[in-house]
Structure 1
Amino acid sequence: MDFILQTTDLCKNFKGQMAVDGVSLNIKRNSVYGLLGPNGAGKSTILKMITGILRPTSGEILFDGHAWSRKDLLQIGALIETPPLYENLSAYENLKAKTLALGLPESRIYEVLDVVQLQNTGRKKAKNFSLGMKQRLGIALALLAQPKLLILDEPTNGLDPIGIQDLRELIRSFPEQGITVILSSHILSEVEQIADHIGILANGKLGYEAKIYKDANLEDIFMKVVGSSQEGK
Structure 2
Amino acid sequence: MKYIIETKKLNKVYKKQDVNKNISLLVPENSIYGLLGPNGAGKSTLLKMLTGMINPTSGEILYKEKTWSRNILLEIGALIEQPPIYENLTARENLKVRTLLYDLQESRIDEVLEIVQLTNTGNKKAGKFSMGMKQRLGIAIALLNNPKLLILDEPTNGLDPIGIGELRELIKSFPQKGITVILASHILSEVEQVADHIGIMVNGQLLYQEKIETNVDLEKLFLDMVRKAGNKND
Same fold (TM over 0.5): yes
Q: Find the residue that maps to 1:190 and give its secondary structure.
A: helix
Hey, what's the Cα distance between the residues in 2 that align with 1:153 and 1:160? 17
The C-alpha deviation readout for 1:91-140, integer Å capped at 9, x for no partner, is 00000000000001110000000000000100100000000000000000
Hey, what's the Cα distance between the residues in 1 that align with 2:105 and 2:134? 23
The C-alpha deviation readout for 1:147-202, integer Å capped at 9, x for no partner, is 00000000001100000000000000000000000000000011000001000000
User: Match of 2:154?
Assistant: 154
Which aligned pairs between 1:1-233 and structure 2 lie closer than 5 A? 1-233=1-233
- Please state how far the C-alpha of 1:215 moved relative to its aligned partner: 1.4
Hey, what's the Cα distance between the residues in 2 that align with 1:103 and 1:166? 30
Hey, what's the Cα distance between the residues in 1 that align with 2:89 and 2:214? 44
Hey, what's the Cα distance between the residues in 1 that align with 2:217 and 2:190? 14
Q: Find the residue that maps to 1:232 and give its secondary structure.
A: helix
Hey, what's the Cα distance between the residues in 2 that align with 1:57 and 1:224? 29
The C-alpha deviation readout for 1:176-233, integer Å capped at 9, x for no partner, is 0000000000000110000010000000011110111111100111011111111111
The count of residues paired between Structure 1 and Structure 2 equals 233
Q: Find the residue that maps to 1:147 and give its secondary structure.
A: coil
Hey, what's the Cα distance between the residues in 2 that align with 1:141 and 1:117? 13
What TM-score does the superposition give when structure 1 sets the normalisation length?
A: 0.99
Structure 1 ranges of 4+ moved more than 2 A: none
Hey, what's the Cα distance between the residues in 1 that align with 2:122 and 2:212? 40
**Amino acid in the other structure paired with 1:228:** K
Hey, what's the Cα distance between the residues in 2 that align with 1:220 and 1:24? 23
Query: Which runs of 5 or more residues in structure 1 are unaligned?
Result: none
The C-alpha deviation readout for 1:18-59, integer Å capped at 9, x for no partner, is 000001010000010000000000100000000001100001
- Please state how far the C-alpha of 1:64 moved relative to its aligned partner: 1.3
Q: Find the residue that maps to 1:30 and give its secondary structure.
A: coil
Hey, what's the Cα distance between the residues in 1 that align with 2:7 and 2:127? 37
- Please state how far the C-alpha of 1:65 moved relative to its aligned partner: 1.6
What TM-score does the superposition give when structure 2 sets the normalisation length?
A: 0.99
